[in-house]
Structure 1
Amino acid sequence: MLWHLEIRPAPGRPDLAGLRLAHEAADIGIAGPWHLAVSRGFLIEGPLGRDAVDRAARQVLVDPVVEAYAIHPGGDGQGGDRHGNGSGGAVVHVLPKAGVTDPEAESALGLLRDLGYEVVEVRTIRTYHIDGPAEERRRLIDRLLANEAVEQVIVGPLPFDHLGQGHDYDFRLVTIPIRSMDDRGLVEASRAGQLSLSLAEMKAIQAHFTALGRDPTDCELETLAQTWSEHCSHKTLKGRIEFEGRTIDNLLKQTIFEATRSLDLDWLVSVFSDNAGVVRFDDEFDVCFKVETHNHPSAIDPYGGSNTGIGGVIRDALGTGLGSRPICNTDVFCVAPTDMPPEQIPAGVLHPRRVLKGVVAGVRDYGNRMGIPTVNGALAVDPGYLANPLVFCGTVGVIPRGMAFKKVEPGDRIIAIGGRTGRDGIHGATFSSLELTSESESISGGAVQIGNAITEKMVQDVVIQARDRGLFHAITDCGAGGFSSAVGEMGEKLGAAVDLERAPLKYRGLSYTEIWISEAQERMVLAVPPESWPELRRLCEAEHVEATDLGEFVPTGRLTLRYHGEVVADLSMEFLHDGRPAVVRSATFTPMPAVPLEAPIKADYTGDLMALLGHWDVCSKEWIVRQYDHEVQGRTVVKPLVGIHDDGPGDASVILPVRGSNRGLAVSCGINPRYGRLDPYAMAACVIDEAIRNCVAVGADPGRIALLDNFCWGSTDRPETLGSLVLAARACHDLSLAYRAPFISGKDSLNNEYSHDGKSLAIPPTLLISAIGQVPDVRRCVTMDLKEPGNVLVIVGTTLDELGGSLWAHTLGMEGGAVPGVDPEAGAAIFRAIHEAICRGLIRSCHDLSEGGLAVALAEMAIAGGLGASASLRDVPCDDSAAKDGVLLFSESPSRFLLEVRPADYDALAALLGVIPMGRLGEVRGAAPGESPRLSIAGLDRIPVVDAPVPDLKDAWQRTLKW
């Protein structure tokens, strides 16, 4: 029997979900008016009577204080006629497609069974009673109510009376006749199979199997595709590039890796060799950090994409060394303007407003449910991200000293723990290597995974306990490529034999290949000595985590896959990992013409400052940050929001990795895609400088800051695009050496383009730099909010006339100009001096100058502190060309800080800075009785060029994302 338990707001309570959806429909231009009644619910199948379902509802499934419910027999025609024209308009049901992970339903199923109910299957369902224009109904469903990549939409009554468990798989060994294919056939086989393999790669595979005298099985071809994908092998950055008359054999090795190798710092533990980079923290613990991208899945399903993005990077930390304990998360989102008119949205593309809400919710739900604080992030908005939003997720973990390395031993059992295997995420790795099109949603919906944070939390608990008991030799997560990547990588130097039929499945009907390449979430693979397997199994049973013996690591040099005793794949590890032909590409770069940018001269720049404060990149992100629990675990010393009302924009967060210690970690980032369009080298240098100075601003030691790179680019098949990537990588090398800040991990995501009607939309070259710095004593940390009237305001660093790519130029529609350039020698000296001043207690507040320059930084400090300020531009250190009010207010020259200092400490600070350029701007001001504090900035002629009440500045800053 199938029952539909429909749960809605209790009588007298507002339908907030319906009101929100009606409002959002109006926001994205779906003509109304709309009246929507929204209910959630469950489809419950099993030998249950109505009384049992009613009892279960009252017992555990419904909150009787705020909810009411109704019980409908499945397939009874409830919900209006088959055209959806029942009373009150249409009825639309939305539920996960068969095979899509449904965490809430899984929890409900387990709970009901624990309580003794005979339940076969549970699925969640949302029901919408819609009253509005019939001709707009389809747009409402497609744009707002459902995502048909992962969800099923039923208009009218539910047409089924059971959910079903699928059908048993009828085994049939599939071989691909690759030896007989010509070049066109090879290309078509790669395209049709979503293998994302080039012709050269397909021909290499063809030659390999021709030499073996047989054709590959589908499983072998899929395994090669996953392992050789751009996502897994980084073949562009590791390939051969011809650029400016010289050959680069391996871009990563000769730039980012080389910088870290040359620095040879004794506090580096493990870099570029594991799931995350590891650095020394103290005498007992190391820390690791990894930032991943999850862009293409988030374009199709924003919630699922970011949800599994954060889940995946948590597993990266968990699978580093012998297992680290995750202590905090980060996230960065790049989206198109969320007020973009609906008619400008191409086919197959979700509205940016829906994308932003979805990705925020995905990170929120996963991190909060696992009890890991999200402490740092950023938002970048540009029309170029319309079809390719970028989602960066990061995790920091703590690992005991001596546990940062692992090694698989012959005879170790291949143990999978955690979630079951389904069809979600199939072709995820290869899909992430493709360009998106208007058909991507329908063709690649299966590449989207759905996460279950509760399962991962239980897996984490098992891994940490098993690590401390010494129950395994090695561990990694099932990320891109699923078992194929996890087992293939762990057994690379040895060999592995796997029995695929042993893998626990979510439902029947999966083929051996689907089992092998599925990217179903919350799964880890461990190399376990046979003698430890019984104890590990008991531990997993105690924690309600499923654990399965899939096979054995064997010293054969081969990857052998069996299905019920039949060999379905037999690959040489050497060919799998080293047989891919080198990618050889040409790169060029033509600098943009040097077009001088003439800053407008105005008598009053207050309006310009208001516009900058309201811009997406500067405005308050409180709507995002408040959805995250950034204090769970009680480790967050400096929070993402600071100030008297805890709503100011902190430069970086500081956490305590080890309880009882005052030694901390600062976590920050730098990103600026506007610079990337003009000068990729300068862009990379600037975002490295920004990430480091954000760390320094809160108290991190500039001599103990490590960096992570995330390159997100368009199609590198175009020489010009590849050339910009080469230049950005060179800047990473140069700045890493100059600042003695090593890179310890990274990730690239290429081919971020959308193709439709013969046109291609590429993202701007985007480099995210994440930084993790060590704070010697968190009791000395400072924040950016103004603290006390009468204190002195000081600017440190030189301001230049370099407005190219600046936020001010962008808001005024000005193009051209020079992108800010980094002087690393000057920057390094400033960073050291600021750190020393913070350690001596000379600085009350510290804020870095970035988007919007000095004017925005002053406004933000005043907003956060609830105080005013009186400042003058006359003493701002600058060269002659920059001696203009507009330039001094809004230039984004790097390596600069704005400080608040007690008058008694000013001379000591000046002596400490020595020859470093600094200027005394003015002082912090309170408010006169009955009045609001004001920000007043006098120009070079001593006449105010900015003057506004701080509450007005705060309103402009908060209004944009006050959703």
Structure 2
Amino acid sequence: MLWEVEIRPTGRDGERERACDEFDLLTHSARGADVVVGSARGFLLEGPLDGADVARLCTALLVDPLVETVAVREVGMAAGSHVHTVLLKPGVMDPVSESVKKAAADVGAQVDEVRTFRRYFGKADTPAADHELMFRKVLANDAIEQVVAGSLHADHLALGRPYEFQRMTVPIRDLSETALLTLSKDGQLALTLDEMLTIQAHFRKQDRDPTDVELETIAQTWSEHCSHKTLKGAIEYTEVTAKGRQTRRYKNLLKETVFGATQTIRQTLGADDWCVSVFADNAGVVKFDDKFHICFKVETHNRPSAIEPYGGSNTGIGGVIRDILGTGLAAKPVCNTDIFCFARPDYPADQLPPGVLHPRRVAHGVVAGVRDYGNRMGIPTVNGAIVFDDRYLANPLVFCGTVGLLPIGLENKKVGAGDLIVALGGRTGRDGIHGATFSSEGLTDASEKVSGGAVQIGNAIAEKKVLDVILQARDRGLYTAVTDCGAGGFSSAVGEMAADLGAHVALEKAPLKYDGLSYTDIWISESQERMVLSVPSASWPELRALAKSEGVEAAVLGTFEETSRLKLSYHGQPIADLDMHFLHDGRPDISRVAEWHAPSVEPTNTKAPAINPQDALLKILGAYSVCSKEWVIRQYDHEVQGGSVVKPLVGVVNDGPSDAAVVMPVLGSWVGAAIGNGINPRYADLDPYAGAAAAIDEAVRNVVAVGGDPRRTAILDNFCWGNVTDPQMLGALVRTAEACRDVAVAYGTPFISGKDSLNNEYKSPTQRIAIPHTLLISALARVPDVRQCVTMDLKESGNDLYLVGTTKDELGGSHLNLVAGRLGGMPPTPDVSIAPQVFAAVHRAIAGGLVRACHDLSEGGLAVAAAEMAFAGGVGADIKALPGVDGLSDEARLFSESTTRFLIEAKPGSAAQLAKEFAGLPFTKIGATTTEPRLRIAGASGEWLIWVKLADLKEAWQKPLRW
């Protein structure tokens, strides 16, 4: 029997309000209320149920009678006129339906299948154009959802039909070069001509054609997403400056820059090396205390989030959590971080390119996806940032990171010959197919439809249960190696684990969500919440029983074998037999040309209208990249697990912007971890080297500002770039990597992990949009004693204010230039010879209890930092000195974004000791805190340039994203 349960709100209709608001935003109108007059949510239930059974389910499980009403009818009965129902497309993961089936069993009702839906009620006279826009851009996402007009009709809800085995081969040996490229494109393989020719030659030697699953396996393994072939390839780099033309060749850019920096630092540390595992596992691992190591990984999930923001970011955070769970023999996730890059939320809707979602919709979906997954997993989200730039319109960037705790002695894994290949966790469906290759290509106006299958929907509750099983099994010693099923699914997970050994997999043994999956679907699916373990046969019964006790499925897919081959079968039929050496080392090296032409240094464009310093301050505080992100932060649980020390919002009423987060991973121990980040693509527009150097400096000073030890700070890199086949685009990336090497070595901050996401470009027949050069640097610092941590909010009146660091004429890429409409200028570039000394002195002062508040100077410079400290603490300030290099204007002293600078509050009695700690370093007393709730800043003449109430400063900062 098929039943339809339609649930409507009795009071405020929040979903209708959301839909109308989004419609009005897109149309610059107020017509949304005429297009949608009501909404409902609901369930389709299939099983041996009568009306009484369904009513009991509604009462016990599905409906809240205080705020909802329910209508129950057989599927196919009239649901009313002008009704449209939105359902997930067949095969798309629906976590709610799975939960309903399990909960129904708990109350004694047998429900065989469940599908959820949303329903919207309209009017008869709605214009066709408004109707199309509402359902195409607001109410449904064509990548994962379908819209049904009128009553629903269905015979059953079960998905799929039995798959009939047919071994498929791909006739590749005799294809022309043109045909090879067509095969790669049409099959979403994302392979170059050289790669296709290499594959062709390989199978010609074997005198056979590859099977479809063999070709897919090679494509997944060789994808940019999985193999990072551009950054690991050979690059001939030419740099053109006023001094002439210089060319140098890199055999492996990553190895000679980012990796090389870490090797140099570790050699310098010698016996004091605190790195444990770098660029060798799913996450970087460093020493923490005498019982635990700590690990960190930051991933990108950009393209899926562009197509389906909720699902894309949802599985982005779920995937990086599994990276931590798959590090060593499994680390326990202790906190999350996320950084987003969006176009401005008020972008004109009528200027959206074809196939591109409105940035406000993207922002809402991305934030909700991260929120739901992290909160449901019970992992606090404690740190992050949001950058707004219209160049992210078609390619929003979604960075998700997780920190984990790993017991000492469990940092190494080793697959054993004869070990069982065990899949643990979620079942396999068609979700995420071609996700790895899709993430290696650019987006087009057709990506929403063509690549919809690359989007996954996560199930955080399922992953939480997997996490519990993995950690228990780890402590019982039930497996010898573990990794997650991320990009490429079983193909990547088993392929990587068996790279030095060999494996045989029987694909029919994989638990499936529904019938109809081919053997290739099973192998490359990126269905979420799955882990792969190497399990000694003697441990299998105990692991199976443990998994069953936690409601987690586990299945043996095959064995690891000393054959140096990857063999796949389906019900005894061989379908793949690949040489491991060819699979992992056979890809032809990429050799590319890169160029960078130094731009002529232009002074800041002074032809732009003059701007009053106070007006400039208020405008910068209200700039989207600077303003309060409280709307986002309040949706995250940053207290779960009980270890959050410095929160993402701080101050007298907990609404000021923290520089970094501090967590106490081991409850009862005072040792902490500080997590911060640095990102500012506007600097890279002027000089990618300066942009990268500033990003590292910002990430380090963020963690130092709260009490992190700069001598025990590790960093991660995430490169997000445009089309790297363009020599100019690749040249900017090379220059960025060189800065990463130089600054990391100078600061003694090793890179321990990283990730790149290339070819972030959108193309349509009439438009091309590339993201700005974007480097995210994430920092993880050890905090010797969390009781010594400080926050950025001013604490009390009568204290001294000090500026640490040198202010220069570095307004290039600044927020002052942005709000004033100016171009040109020099971007901030750290003085790497003095920066480590400044960081060390700030850390000593904080650890010595000399600092009451500390805030790093970043976007907006001194004026913005002072304003934020003042309104966060509810304490006024008078700044009567504006230090800087000789000849510097008041405007630059106020708003320059020179790096390696801090604003410090200290008691007057600390002056002598502070002077001693900062001896020989740029350190100046610039003012004092006051009882009056206002900020005053004087210029060189003594005249007050800024005089504004704290309430007005806070309002300017909080208003833009008060959604």
Question: Is the Cα–Cα contact under 8 Å of residues 428 and 481 in structure 1 kept in the other structure?
Answer: yes
- The answer to whether the aligner puts 1:281 opposite 2:273 as a matched pair is no
Q: Which amino acid aligns with 2:456?
A: Q
- Going from structure 1 to structure 2, the CA distance change for 1:602 and 1:205 (only over 3 Å counts) comes to closer
How far the C-alpha of 1:78 sits from its partner, in A, is 1.8
- Going from structure 1 to structure 2, the CA distance change for 1:852 and 1:423 (only over 3 Å counts) comes to same
Question: Is the Cα–Cα contact under 8 Å of residues 609 and 820 in structure 2 kept in the other structure?
Answer: no
> For 1:646-669, what per-residue CA distance to the aligned partner results, in whole angstroms no more than 9, with x for missing partners?
010000000001111101000000
Task: Give distance in 2, aligned partners of 1:602 and 1:787.
Answer: 35
Task: Give distance in 2, aligned partners of 1:414 and 1:741.
Answer: 38
Q: Structure 1: any 5+ residue segments left out of the alignment? A: 80-85, 928-932
Task: Give distance in 1, aligned partners of 2:153 and 2:817.
Answer: 57
127-136 or 311-320, larger mean C-alpha shift: 127-136
How far the C-alpha of 1:246 sits from its partner, in A, is 2.3
Specify which of 445, 451, 466 is matched with residue 459 of structure 1.
466
Question: Is the Cα–Cα contact under 8 Å of residues 605 and 824 in structure 2 kept in the other structure?
Answer: no
SS at match of 1:226: helix
Task: Give distance in 1, aligned partners of 2:956 and 2:61.
Answer: 45
The aligned runs of 1:787-802 (5 Å cut-off) are 787-802=795-810
Q: Which amino acid aligns with 1:657?
A: P
SS at match of 1:769: strand
Match of 1:504 in 2: 511
Question: Is the Cα–Cα contact under 8 Å of residues 669 and 771 in structure 1 kept in the other structure?
Answer: yes
Task: Give distance in 2, aligned partners of 1:881 and 1:129.
Answer: 66
- The answer to whether the aligner puts 1:701 opposite 2:693 as a matched pair is no
> For 1:252-311, what per-residue CA distance to the aligned partner results, in whole angstroms no more than 9, with x for missing partners?
000011110111141100000000000000110001000000000000000000000000
SS at match of 1:544: coil
Task: Give distance in 2, aligned partners of 1:284 and 1:532.
Answer: 26
Aligned residue pairs total: 944
Task: Give distance in 2, aligned partners of 1:130 and 1:588.
Answer: 56
- The answer to whether the aligner puts 1:94 opposite 2:86 as a matched pair is yes
Q: Which amino acid aligns with 1:103?
A: P
Task: Give distance in 2, aligned partners of 1:183 and 1:934.
Answer: 70
SS at match of 1:178: coil
Match of 2:153 in 1: 159
Match of 1:903 in 2: 908
Match of 1:252 in 2: 254
- The answer to whether the aligner puts 1:544 opposite 2:551 as a matched pair is yes
Match of 2:737 in 1: 729
- The answer to whether the aligner puts 1:940 opposite 2:945 as a matched pair is no
- Going from structure 1 to structure 2, the CA distance change for 1:275 and 1:33 (only over 3 Å counts) comes to closer
Question: Is the Cα–Cα contact under 8 Å of residues 75 and 161 in structure 1 kept in the other structure?
Answer: no
Match of 1:757 in 2: 765
- The answer to whether the aligner puts 1:7 opposite 2:14 as a matched pair is no
> For 1:455-482, what per-residue CA distance to the aligned partner results, in whole angstroms no more than 9, with x for missing partners?
0000000000000000000000000000
Question: Is the Cα–Cα contact under 8 Å of residues 30 and 140 in structure 1 kept in the other structure?
Answer: no
The aligned runs of 1:671-682 (5 Å cut-off) are 671-682=679-690
TM-score (norm 1): 0.97
Task: Give distance in 2, aligned partners of 1:557 and 1:880.
Answer: 67
Question: Is the Cα–Cα contact under 8 Å of residues 810 and 827 in structure 2 kept in the other structure?
Answer: yes
Match of 1:367 in 2: 374
Question: Is the Cα–Cα contact under 8 Å of residues 477 and 524 in structure 1 kept in the other structure?
Answer: yes
- The answer to whether the aligner puts 1:686 opposite 2:697 as a matched pair is no
252-261 or 65-74, larger mean C-alpha shift: 65-74
Task: Give distance in 2, aligned partners of 1:182 and 1:742.
Answer: 47
The aligned runs of 1:119-130 (5 Å cut-off) are 119-130=111-122
> For 1:109-142, what per-residue CA distance to the aligned partner results, in whole angstroms no more than 9, with x for missing partners?
1111233222120011001112454430110111
Task: Give distance in 2, aligned partners of 1:576 and 1:472.
Answer: 26
How far the C-alpha of 1:871 sits from its partner, in A, is 0.7
Q: Which amino acid aligns with 1:716?
A: V
Task: Give distance in 1, aligned partners of 2:931 and 2:71.
Answer: 59
The aligned runs of 1:739-750 (5 Å cut-off) are 739-750=747-758
- Going from structure 1 to structure 2, the CA distance change for 1:96 and 1:642 (only over 3 Å counts) comes to same
The aligned runs of 1:912-931 (5 Å cut-off) are 912-927=917-932
Task: Give distance in 2, aligned partners of 1:912 and 1:598.
Answer: 40
843-852 or 59-68, larger mean C-alpha shift: 59-68
> For 1:869-895, what per-residue CA distance to the aligned partner results, in whole angstroms no more than 9, with x for missing partners?
111234x1x21242x111011100000
Match of 2:79 in 1: 78
Task: Give distance in 1, aligned partners of 2:919 and 2:776.
Answer: 33
240-249 or 439-448, larger mean C-alpha shift: 240-249
Question: Is the Cα–Cα contact under 8 Å of residues 847 and 857 in structure 1 kept in the other structure?
Answer: yes
> For 1:470-528, what per-residue CA distance to the aligned partner results, in whole angstroms no more than 9, with x for missing partners?
00000000000000000000000000000000000000000000000000000000000
Match of 2:243 in 1: none
SS at match of 2:210: coil
How far the C-alpha of 1:908 sits from its partner, in A, is 1.4
The aligned runs of 1:321-336 (5 Å cut-off) are 321-336=328-343
The alignment's C-alpha RMSD in Å is 1.1
SS at match of 1:147: coil
Task: Give distance in 1, aligned partners of 2:598 and 2:771.
Answer: 18
Task: Give distance in 1, aligned partners of 2:141 and 2:150.
Answer: 18
Question: Is the Cα–Cα contact under 8 Å of residues 21 and 36 in structure 1 kept in the other structure?
Answer: no
Question: Is the Cα–Cα contact under 8 Å of residues 792 and 900 in structure 1 kept in the other structure?
Answer: yes
Question: Is the Cα–Cα contact under 8 Å of residues 456 and 528 in structure 2 kept in the other structure?
Answer: yes
SS at match of 2:627: coil
- Going from structure 1 to structure 2, the CA distance change for 1:865 and 1:404 (only over 3 Å counts) comes to same
> For 1:74-106, what per-residue CA distance to the aligned partner results, in whole angstroms no more than 9, with x for missing partners?
112323xxxxxx2xxx31111111000000011
Task: Give distance in 2, aligned partners of 1:836 and 1:159.
Answer: 71
- The answer to whether the aligner puts 1:829 opposite 2:842 as a matched pair is no
How far the C-alpha of 1:195 sits from its partner, in A, is 0.2
886-895 or 590-599, larger mean C-alpha shift: 590-599
The aligned runs of 1:281-680 (5 Å cut-off) are 281-597=288-604, 604-680=612-688
Task: Give distance in 2, aligned partners of 1:793 and 1:422.
Answer: 59
62-71 or 836-845, larger mean C-alpha shift: 62-71
Question: Is the Cα–Cα contact under 8 Å of residues 304 and 448 in structure 1 kept in the other structure?
Answer: yes
Question: Is the Cα–Cα contact under 8 Å of residues 697 and 830 in structure 2 kept in the other structure?
Answer: yes
Q: Which amino acid aligns with 1:122?
A: V
Match of 1:83 in 2: none
Question: Is the Cα–Cα contact under 8 Å of residues 801 and 881 in structure 1 kept in the other structure?
Answer: no
Question: Is the Cα–Cα contact under 8 Å of residues 33 and 133 in structure 1 kept in the other structure?
Answer: no
Task: Give distance in 2, aligned partners of 1:958 and 1:436.
Answer: 34
Question: Is the Cα–Cα contact under 8 Å of residues 74 and 162 in structure 1 kept in the other structure?
Answer: no
Question: Is the Cα–Cα contact under 8 Å of residues 685 and 732 in structure 1 kept in the other structure?
Answer: yes
619-628 or 164-173, larger mean C-alpha shift: 164-173
Match of 1:879 in 2: 885
> For 1:229-267, what per-residue CA distance to the aligned partner results, in whole angstroms no more than 9, with x for missing partners?
000000000001011222200000000111101111411
How far the C-alpha of 1:604 sits from its partner, in A, is 3.9
Question: Is the Cα–Cα contact under 8 Å of residues 381 and 617 in structure 1 kept in the other structure?
Answer: yes
* Structure 1 residue ranges (4+ consecutive) displaced by more than 4 angstroms after TM superposition: 598-603
SS at match of 2:86: strand
Q: Which amino acid aligns with 1:118?
A: Q
Q: Which amino acid aligns with 1:463?
A: I
Task: Give distance in 1, aligned partners of 2:566 and 2:368.
Answer: 39
How far the C-alpha of 1:812 sits from its partner, in A, is 1.3
How far the C-alpha of 1:759 sits from its partner, in A, is 3.2
Task: Give distance in 2, aligned partners of 1:500 and 1:305.
Answer: 27
SS at match of 2:701: helix
SS at match of 1:921: strand
Match of 2:185 in 1: 191
SS at match of 1:633: coil
